[in-house]
Amino acid sequence: MLLTDFIIFVLSLWVGFEVISKVPATLHTPLMSAANSIHGIVLAGAMVIAATAHNVVGYILAFVAVAFAAMNVVGGYVVTGRMLKMFRRRATPPAVTAAAGTAGAARPAAAVPSPNGKATA
């Protein structure tokens, strides 16, 4: 059991290194915040210890653990979403009609083909 868990741990580390080394520096703050929300999975662990608690000390520890983890997970996802919402190609409100600058052409957007020109600010 421990060996299986350890293998999963090591392989996950490698997957993490692979995936994360491709994230551009522009997004490092949201990345860290996203990673933060992911470690909020400790909420699952906190719930398990609440399930096995049967005395006051156990309940207190479980309450603090659940509250910590819930703060971590809810706050993490909300603030990451809030930050990512601010990253725009162009500030003009209808995002679809916004044209990318010359620099933008280097990084093509997923959906909209961007004509090469300047948006009026």
Partner 1 sequence: MSGTFNTVIQLVYVAAASCFILGLHLMNNPATARRGNQISAVGMIAAVAATAALIIHLGVISVTGWIVIAAGVLVGGGLGLYTARTVKMTAMPQLVSIFNAVGGGAAALVAIRDYMTLGGSVAASTSVPTLLDVIIGSVTFSGSIIAAGKLQGLITSAPVSFPGARIVNLLLIAVAVGVGGYVIAAPSLIQLGVVIAAALIFGVSMVMPIGGADMPVVISLLNAFTGTAVAMAGFVINNTALIIAGALVGASGGILTKLMADAMNRSIPNIMLGGFGSGDAIVAAAGVAGAGVQSIAADDAAIQLAYASKVIIVPGYGLAAAQAQHEVAALADLLESRGVDVSYAIHPVAGRMPGHMNVLLAEANVPYPLLKEMDDINPEFARTDVALVIGANDVTNPAARRPGTAISGMPILDVDHAKSIIVIKRSMGHGYAGIDNELYTDPKTAMFFADAKKGLAELTAAVKTLVA
Return the residues of window 56-75 that contact partner 1 according to CB under 8 A.
57-59, 61-75
Q: Residues 21 to 60: which contact partner 1 by CB under 8 A? A: 21-54, 57-59
In the list 94, 97, 115, 118, the residue contacting partner 1 (rule: CB under 8 A) is 118
Q: Could you say whether residue 115 binds partner 1 (CB under 8 A)?
A: no
Q: Could you say whether residue 101 binds partner 1 (CB under 8 A)?
A: yes
Q: Could you say whether residue 83 binds partner 1 (CB under 8 A)?
A: yes
* Least distance (Å) between residue 72 CB and partner 1: 5
DSSP state of 96: T
CA distance 41 to 33: 14
Nearer to partner 1, 57 or 115 (CB): 57
* Least distance (Å) between residue 115 CB and partner 1: 14
Helix axes 56-86, 28-38, angle to 10 degrees: 150
Identify whether the C-beta of residue 64 lies closer than 8 Å to the C-beta of residue 79. no
The CA dihedral of 92, 94, 97, 103, to the nearest 10 degrees, is 40
CA distance 91 to 87: 9
* Least distance (Å) between residue 94 CB and partner 1: 14
